Copies of this chain bind each other. A is one copy, B any other.
Amino acid sequence: MVKNKSEEELFLEKYDKEKYEKISVAVDLLVFTVENDELKLLVIKRNEMPYKDYLALPGVFVGVDESLEEAVKRGIREETGVENIYFEQLYTWGEVDRDPRMRIISVSYMALVPLESLRMRVGMRVSEVLLMSVDELLEQKDKIGFDHGKIIEYARERLRNKVEYSKIAFELVPKEFTLPQLQRIYEIILGHPLYKANFRKKISEMICQTDRYTSGNAHRPSQYYRLKE
């Protein structure tokens, strides 16, 4: 008796045969920070083929006994030395030919870290890690390897959107911050200036005062705040 195989059955046969050729899974990291009034991203300069001398996102392969989040934490630790920073999943990229060496599906994660935390770890790095302006990066996408240019664009867009309706920007300032400082972060991410009074009204319910003030500047000092709760 001839039985028609379902597509799934046929697929599983093929799948079994190609077991040795299975898909690799990686996490790609988009570590953002703000430096010199610019949004910057942690990238590496590749010193191997493929895409030798191109820029690329740092990333690690996901181990069989490792969750995606564990892989992300490990990757962040390896590339920056910092721990316990904010991150969130962005998108999963699965085109067949996105890596010429082999089939790699990559789950991208965006991490935000205040420059101060990153600075503490400067010099610890082994491989060639750079902080580059996101605007400049996206102006010369031909220097970015793999599909990472597209991923960076996606992340920047997500960051812009999320700044508007979430508290994500607070991840880019120290625990205590001034409002002009925070406003600068918003403006840099959004790419346009904001009105002081409106900005303060908008975030007023998210913050609470401290009794500390800036000092040493030839103008009125500004008060330090912290995130509420």
Contact = CB atoms under 8 A, between A and B. Distances in A.
Contact of A67 (B24, B67, B78, B95): B95
A55 interface: no
A92 B95 contact: no
Given A7-B78, A78-B8, A94-B69, A18 B64 contact: yes
Interface of A: 6-8, 11-12, 14-15, 18-25, 60-69, 74, 78, 89, 91-92, 94-96, 103, 105, 107, 126
Nearest to A75: B8
Given A19-B19, A23-B23, A78-B7, A92 B107 contact: yes
A23 B25 contact: yes
Contacts of A20: 19
B89 A15 contact: no
Given A23-B24, A65-B103, 20 more contacts: A7-B74, A8-B60, A11-B60, A11-B63, A12-B61, A14-B63, A19-B19, A21-B64, A22-B24, A23-B25, A23-B62, A25-B105, A62-B94, A67-B94, A67-B95, A67-B96, A68-B92, A68-B94, A92-B92, A92-B107
A67 B103 CA distance: 10
